[in-house]
Amino acid sequence: MSIPKYICIEGVIGAGKTSLARKLGEHLDAQVIYEQPEENPFLKDFYKDPQRFAFQAQLFFLLSRYRQQQESVQPDLFHDLMISDYLFAKDRIFAHLNLEDRELFLYDKVASLLEQNIPKPDLVVYLQSSPERLKYNIWQRGRSYEKDISLEYIQSLNEAYNKFFFHYNDTSLLVINSTQIDFVNNKSEFEDLAQQIMRPHYGIEYYSPAHLDNKLKK
C-alpha cells in the first residue's frame, strides 16, 4: 500500500475541515481545493427558512461543486499531493436530510449523472465531533450566514454524517475522534494527526488521539 496522493477532509459544519486542509497543505506543500459556501446565494435564506430554500441551496451546491471538481482535480506539475476540504459524495447527506420526496427524486437524477465524472480520493478523513463542540466552533468563527444554525439541526446533521460514513466503502476511510483535540493551535496534536493521515491506509480505520494509548484501532 502506498501513501495517499488525493485526500478529502470531511466532517459536519464546524468540524475544522478547512483549517485542517489548509494546515496540511502548508505542512506538506500540497495543492488544496477549498469549498466556497459563501458563494451560495441561497444559503443565508436556507438557514432562516429551510423548507422554502432547501432545494435551491442544494442544487446550487451540487452544480458549483461539480464545476470546481472538473476544474481543480487535475494533475498538477508542481504538487505531488492534493487535498480537498470536502468530499463530493457528501452532498447527498444534506439532500436526504433537507429535501422533500419530489425534490429528492429530481436531485438524485441530476446527482447520479454528475457523480460518474468525479474522481475518487485515495483517502477520506472524517473529523467526528460532538454537536456541542461543533456549535461552539461555529459560534467562535462568527460567520454571519451561520448565526441562525440551531443545535437541533447540528445534531440531526451529525447523526446523518455518522450514518453515511458507517456505510461508506468507496475508498479508504480514517475516522478521527476530534472532539477533544486542537489541531489548529496545538502543534504536537497537528503533527500527530498529519502523521496518522500520511501513512498507507486500507479499509475503515479509527483513530482517537485523546486515548492514553494513542494507538490506531481497526
- For residue 106, give the nearest of 46, 58, 37, 70 by alpha carbon: 58
SS3 10: strand
Which of the following is catalytic: 29, 45, 49, 85? 85
Other CB atoms within 10 Å distance of the CB of residue 76: 12
Question: Taking the chain (218 residues) in consecutive chunks of 10 residues, what is each chunk's mean pLDDT?
Answer: 87 93 94 90 90 95 92 68 93 94 96 91 95 90 81 93 93 93 90 92 85 46
Is 148 marked active-site? no
CA dihedral 103, 106, 112, 117 (to 10 degrees): -100
Q: Whole-structure pTM over 0.75, yes or no?
A: yes
Fold of 6-121+140-207: Rossmann fold (3.40.50)
**Residue extents of the structural domains in the chain:** 6-121+140-207
